[in-house]
């Protein structure tokens, strides 16, 4: 670490932070749910992690050893350890919703979260109320916070099973035209001619809806992203929408714009084809990907 942190030939601060977040922090917090839960006495463990992160902050920024911990973490872009663990614990609690209906973990939860699993003799539903108040642990925390989640998940939805996915059933119905980066003038002109030909063809078809979608992220983090879509049929614009996309990344905002356009296009009568014009091919591919992913 001293060699990598050399001020003359070592890593820059951005890569030091990436190394710490992707390697050191993951190892340090491995298995944290065994000792970090509501009501756990983990003050000593948190103190060790705070000391570790302080050393990492000094290594990243090159600050003096007498610098305050909060300032070091702010300059190096590191979230405080206790808040980081709190965030991961909240995600872990809600991740239990994505488990299958027969997962063994469901058999030890309360009756509201059984689904198709067989209740275990030591399940929470078999405990008395007085014993529940005394018992502390990760499973009790999961069972207590699951009702707070308002979103619904289907881990084994038919649309996400191999062989029944959209791209598995209709591989010839969804086509992506990705031109990639156009660095040469000849390639750019060919690209413009190709797009003009596509646009001319879709305007002459009365059963085609073509949509222009885009997203905008503000430079100020206090504001939210915006997703917009404009829908045309032949030569006339028949709808345009603009949605607040919350504080999300650019791919998520682009995905929201594509989703809004497809939803409106499928509500049109005699709509046989849908063309989406977007500058985010990754979000377009994700729009037909039913697998679970972050975002």
pLDDT digits (tens, 9 = 90+) for 225-238: 999 999 999 999 99
The parts of the chain modelled with pLDDT lower than 50 are: none
- What are the respective helix, strand and coil percentages of the chain, to the nearest 5? 45, 10, 40
pLDDT of residue 182: 66
The hierarchical CATH code for the domain 166-286 is 3.30.420
Could you tell me if 263 and 244 are in contact, meaning their C-beta atoms sit under 8 angstroms apart? no
Could you tell me if 251 and 283 are in contact, meaning their C-beta atoms sit under 8 angstroms apart? yes
pLDDT of residue 183: 67
Could you tell me if 115 and 60 are in contact, meaning their C-beta atoms sit under 8 angstroms apart? no
pLDDT of residue 117: 86
Residues contacting 72, CB < 8 A, separation 6+: 54, 57, 58, 61, 63
Domains in the chain: boundaries: 13-92, 99-156, 166-286
pLDDT of residue 99: 84
């Amino acid at each position: 670490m001293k060699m990598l942190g050399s001020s003359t030939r070592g890593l820059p601060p951005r890569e030091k932070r990436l190394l710490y977040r992707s390697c050191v922090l993951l190892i340090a917090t491995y298995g944290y749910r065994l000792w970090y839960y509501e009501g756990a006495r983990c003050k000593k463990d948190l103190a060790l992690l705070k000391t570790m992160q302080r050393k990492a902050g000094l290594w990243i920024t090159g600050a003096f050893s007498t610098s305050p911990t909060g300032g070091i973490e702010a300059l190096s872009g590191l979230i405080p350890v206790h808040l980081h663990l709190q965030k991961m614990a909240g995600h872990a609690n809600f991740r239990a919703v994505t488990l299958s209906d027969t997962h063994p973990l469901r058999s030890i939860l309360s009756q509201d979260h059984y689904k198709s699993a067989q209740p275990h003799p030591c399940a929470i539903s078999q405990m008395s109320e007085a014993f529940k108040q005394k018992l502390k642990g990760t499973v009790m925390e999961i069972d207590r916070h699951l009702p707070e989640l308002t979103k619904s998940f289907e881990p084994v939805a038919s649309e996400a099973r191999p062989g029944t996915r959209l791209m598995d059933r209709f591989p010839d119905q969804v086509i992506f035209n990705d031109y990639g980066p156009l660095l040469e003038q000849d390639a750019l002109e060919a690209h413009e001619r190709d797009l003009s030909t596509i646009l001319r063809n879709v305007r002459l078809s009365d059963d085609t809806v073509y949509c222009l979608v885009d997203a905008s992220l503000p430079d100020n983090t206090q504001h939210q992203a915006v997703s917009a879509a404009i829908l045309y049929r032949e030569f006339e614009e028949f709808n345009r929408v603009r949605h607040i996309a919350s504080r999300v990344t650019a791919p998520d905002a682009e995905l929201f714009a594509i989703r809004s356009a497809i939803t409106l296009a499928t509500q049109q009568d005699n709509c046989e084809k849908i063309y989406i014009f977007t500058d985010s091919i990754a979000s377009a591919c994700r729009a037909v990907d039913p697998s679970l992913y972050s975002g």
